[in-house]
Amino acid sequence: MVNEVNIDPKSRADMPTTSYSKPVIGATGKTGSWRTFTPQIDYDECSRCRTCWLHCPEAVISLDEDGTPHIDLDYCKGCACCAEVCPKKCIAMIREGFDEEESV
């Protein structure tokens, strides 16, 4: 592991008595509320190549043991980078609040 984050309260005594920030997920709250289009993965088509995971700027794509991607919609901003880089083009961007047929 590179630079393990230590946010254990006991180890906080090791930190200097100065102001510092601790790393948290969601430093700005749930950025998923920014989203207009929601990515939807077609798991039958998906070849588990992990390209989406590699290029996701938001680091919201997590992978299973076999490489199946899952998107954390709490923080996904819906930028569609995953859909564009997907070699199989199996990620559809669905407009929030619409059904799949009406997608753009």
Task: Provide the binding-site residues for another protein, judged by CB under 8 A.
Answer: 1-3, 5, 19, 21-31, 34-35, 50, 54-60, 63, 72, 74-75, 77-81, 83-85, 93
Residue 69 near residue 60, CB atoms below 8 Å = no
Nearer to another protein, 57 or 97 (CB): 57
Nearer to another protein, 18 or 102 (CB): 18
Least distance from C-beta 71 to another protein, angstroms?
10
Least distance from C-beta 19 to another protein, angstroms?
7
Least distance from C-beta 67 to another protein, angstroms?
8
CA dihedral 74, 59, 93, 80 (to 10 degrees): 130
In 36-86, the DSSP E strands lie at: 37-41, 61-63, 69-71
Nearer to another protein, 59 or 98 (CB): 59
Residue 5 CA to residue 51 CA, distance in Å, equals 26
Q: Enumerate the H helices of 38-89 as residue ranges.
A: 51-55, 81-85
